[in-house]
């Protein structure tokens, strides 16, 4: 289709989540324990990356939900970027309420927001940090950024509190989290 953009996911290429190499993992008896690890199902990961590509040339955005009390993400809710910008995103308040209702009905708890960076790395911009301080003053949410800067998309997740940015590992499960 003329003017359409296909993502590496659509073309069967493998995109990847970035997991830090040092500092967060402790190996005990062949088990790895990580602090604040975010788990995504393969389907949820693919939905986020595909939504980022569908949003071009603008940043894409959406909310995601986990099983209550966990960081096991089981649902992604794509949303419209009402800012219609390649540099910032803005969620619509009414759409957020509808997403919250859908998550409640599905037994999920909204735990974070995903957005894409169309031409920069998967690291929070000063605007992202400022928005997080206003929207999530207690640092409870997870902020996923999908970068489309390079040929392969990169997905990373952060927690932000009082202007401090902390990256958290992301694990993409081969099969759906139970």
Domain 16-173 annotated CATH 3.40.50.1220: no
Structure tokens at 147: 């970068």
pLDDT at 160: 96
Token readout for 78 is: 């794509």
Give the tens place of pLDDT for each residue, 87-127. Answer: 999 999 999 999 999 999 999 999 999 999 999 999 999 99
Percent of the chain at pLDDT > 70 equals 78
pLDDT band at 38 (very low <50, low <70, confident <90, very high): very high
- Domain ranges across the chain: 16-173
State the pLDDT at residue 64: 98
- pLDDT attached to residue 62: 98
Task: Give ∠ CA 119-148-34 in degrees, rounded to 5.
Answer: 115
Assign 175 a pLDDT band (cuts: 50, 70, 90): low
Are the CB atoms for 152 and 20 separated by under 8 Å?
no
Burial bucket for residue 69 (CB in 10 Å: 0-12, 13-18, 19+) = exposed
- The counts of H helices and E strands in the chain are 3, 11
User: Is 30 a residue whose pLDDT tops 50?
Assistant: no
- The secondary structure of residue 165, as a DSSP letter, is E
pLDDT in tens, 136-147: 999 999 999 999
Token pair recorded at residue 76: 């992604």
Mean pLDDT of 54-65: 98
Q: Compute the residue count for the chain.
A: 178
pLDDT greater than 80 at residue 178: no
Cα dihedral 67, 77, 166, 162 in deg (nearest 10): -100
Tell me the HSE value of 14 on the side-chain side, using a 13 A CA sphere. Answer: 6
Pick the residue with more confidence: 10 or 177? 177
């Amino acid at each position: 289709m003329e003017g359409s953009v296909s993502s590496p996911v659509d073309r069967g290429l493998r995109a990847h989540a970035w997991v830090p190499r040092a500092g967060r993992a402790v190996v005990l008896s062949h088990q790895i324990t990580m602090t604040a690890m975010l788990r995504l199902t393969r389907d949820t990961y693919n939905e986020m990356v595909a939504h980022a590509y569908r949003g071009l040339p603008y940043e894409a955005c959406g909310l995601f939900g986990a099983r209550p009390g966990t960081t096991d993400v089981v649902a992604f809710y794509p949303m419209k970027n009402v800012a219609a910008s390649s540099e910032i995103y803005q969620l619509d308040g009414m759409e957020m309420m509808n997403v919250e209702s859908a998550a409640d009905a599905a037994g999920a708890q909204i735990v974070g927001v995903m957005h894409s960076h169309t031409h920069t790395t998967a690291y929070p911009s000063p605007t992202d940090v400022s928005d997080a301080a206003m929207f999530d003053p207690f640092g409870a949410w997870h902020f996923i950024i999908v970068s489309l800067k390079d040929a392969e998309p990169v997905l990373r997740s952060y927690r932000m509190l009082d202007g401090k940015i902390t990256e958290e590992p992301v694990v993409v499960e081969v099969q759906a989290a139970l």
